[in-house]
Amino acid sequence: MTGGATSEDRPNSGAGGAGTCREAAAGAAAPGRPRGRDHLLPAPVSVSWNEWQRRPVSFVWRRRRYRVERVLETWVLETGWWKDEGHVSRAYWRVRAEGRVFDLRYDRLGKTWTLEQALN
């Protein structure tokens, strides 16, 4: 399944639109989650966006810049729009960056980027 943000929901890069490069508070790893520092996910990230290609080109996580080599998959989660509370509108990109696979999430309502998970 493919999809992505519309031009009206264009992700912003830089101040104001992207998340900050900071780690989430440490906590116990959830069952099934990787041990080590990856248990701190999801974590806010700063994302550079290519408007012409309509995709992320790099992101900063833990003070390191990851260049997106390839977008592997995209999808959109849109639910709860019929309720006053609980509306969710998110776009996801599964990307290969620096030899690893990551899921990036863009919250279309909050206009923020999050690294959802590092798959390997």
Name residues whose C-beta falls within 8 Å of residue 39's C-beta, 6 or more positions apart in sequence: 27, 28, 29, 30, 33
Share of the chain above pLDDT 90, in %: 57
pLDDT in tens, 2-57: 444 433 444 544 433 333 333 333 333 344 445 555 666 899 999 999 999 999 99
Q: What is residue 10's three-state secondary structure?
A: coil
* Per-residue pLDDT, 17: 39
Model confidence band, residue 85 (pLDDT cutoffs 50, 70, 90): confident
CA distances (Å), origin 111, targets 17, 47, 74 = 5, 12, 17
Better pLDDT: 32 or 118: 118
Better pLDDT: 29 or 97: 97
Domain boundaries, the chain: 7-25+37-118
* Per-residue pLDDT, 36: 54
